[in-house]
Structure 1
Amino acid sequence: MAQLTIALDIMGGDHGPLVILAAAIRAVEKHSHCQFVLCGDQAVIRPALEPLSNEQLSRIEVEHCEQVVLMDEKPTQALRNKKQSSMRRALELVAEGRADACVSAGNTGALMAMAFYVLKTLPGIDRPALVTAMPTASHHRVFLLDLGANVNCDSEALFQYGVMGTVLAQQCARIDNPRVALLNVGEEDIKGNAQVKYADQLFRNAESINYIGYVEGDDIFTDVADVVVTDGFTGNVALKSSEGLAKLVINEVRRVSQQNWYTRLLAKISLPLLKSIYTRVNPDQYNGASLLGLRGIVVKSHGNASADAFYYAISQAINEAQMQVPERIKNRIEQVLLEHH
């Protein structure tokens, strides 16, 4: 297996660097073929690395950064004033070729602005898109994009998202011919706004995309499609709503199972089943939204991610780096553009 280098923004996120460092240490222990560059305050990072072995320490480099992008900082201010930040440095390492991917739990708007500026988009891609994999009823995963990188999307952008989602599903989920759908307010041809209707025509004219038409919100989880395309506003609402519902289900099961001795006994008997359900719906394992369309791999973790959740984001970055996702998107976009001309 090829040696990979992953850059981590240690200072981003709601819970401070120690949570991210815990995830980083787990990644070092689990992925022996990977090097890691930890970007942040070395006074915070160095003590956390003391329990590691010499072999593990040999695969870690600390890149000291004087600045931190605050979670409520405006993207334009971060881009202009935080050139020495851990977030900016992690992105620069990818741009310089010193890292194969980077991961940050920091300010989403700032990360997108910096990534767009530092890495630039691939030829044929107008704007990057945030995408993540979500669970479905048949144990497959569905890739949903955009999740908030672009609130307003024209038809061409939606079409580009479908192409990028196809490549991600092929490379990271090993799906030969991914089914691509457009999220809409109904499945009928007359439904939807002008952008969605024109995007529908673009997909129908692209022979290399396995386009299946419109789907509604409840279809995201029924395994009717492998890639679901929508604008950033709708995608973000869908993502946050599903995460909120998953947490509600988990908390309700916990509450009901502890109501009295009888429910506690039933919960103990059904513990293997409950653990299986928890594993399936727990949002932590779906943490890690990829910023697709850039000339490098950038994975955005939730700001409030636990150490487990951030570890999953690191694993997502490693997987994409192994599959050379940006290069494959570039090749696929070129192929599709030739079809259009």
Structure 2
Amino acid sequence: MAKSTLSFVCQNCGAAYSRWQGKCEACGEWNTLAEEDTTGATSAPVSLRSKRKGRTFQLESLTGKTIDAPRLSSGMTELDRVTGGGFVRGSILLVGGDPGIGKSTLLTQATAMMARAGHRAVYISGEEAVAQVRLRAERLGLADAPVQLASETSVEDIISTLSEGAVPRLIVIDSIQTMWTDTVESAPGTVTQVRASAQALIRFAKKSGAAIILVGHVTKDGQIAGPRVVEHMVDAVLSFEGEGSQQFRILRAVKNRFGPTDEIGVFEMTGLGLREVTNPSELFLSERDLGSPGTAVFAGIEGTRPVLVEMQALVAPTSLGTPRRAVVGWDPSRLSMVLAVLEAHCGV
């Protein structure tokens, strides 16, 4: 029997320690260390493990014919813009966002559109029952889409089921923190399980050619929970952002091996799901009052799309001895730099 090595692993950043301590020195979080088997050993005896020799493989040169990766459109223009033109066969995408921001709604709409286009799309939920996913689809008006649903958390069972029949073009795993595999002896959601489950799904995607989207939980500071190594393993990391009290959502790419990372997708949350906003400038300037003083329109570039944003300045008298400058929606350090340049060159 292989001897297991136990250590204390931070469930926020994946740092390992030989003994327990209250605060993780790597990320600064408190009470996030849990005891885990970091060797990933299974209960199989050593005598049953394969002892084959390594095989030789052919080495290639840098010169040769390069073929662009074939892409499959999701049916949503804003989603295709962020991914670089669609989903690449065999790619793995990690989508993160705050709870209730609309990740499941976005992916439900994407799988439904691909299924209506004649592609096999599978939605596997580890947090909701099939009936709950159906209720969301009915609310979005997508109940007639031929999406294949399942509520399962075992990675081995998922891969075995998906290997039968035609290869799915799109697979959604919601979420990776609920998956578990028999290859490691840890509880679901731990760093070891998340890393091992993601690795098994990545191997299946590369072997079968199916595009897989992994949904990831986020911490209180907006970072995707679990080990950062998962972000390095996947091909693209997408962040779904927005305020819970506002109806607008922004999808941006933090990492993308097959496309740019400076494009954004703008959505509006409505009663029938997410609506794509193809012209954000019109949206941001729709309620602008031309007669109001202290306002100006700023032209910015997000990827290949120019975005017009209104900036407002408000000045009010204060009874304090030291005036205070505050800014909302803008970096205070950048604002100070802009004002310093204006004062130096324009005499403002």
Q: Which TM-score applies when normalising by structure 2?
A: 0.29
Counting strand residues as a fraction of each chain, which structure ranks higher? 2
Greater Cα radius of gyration, structure 1 or 2: 2
Q: Which TM-score applies when normalising by structure 1?
A: 0.30
Counting helix residues as a fraction of each chain, which structure ranks higher? 1
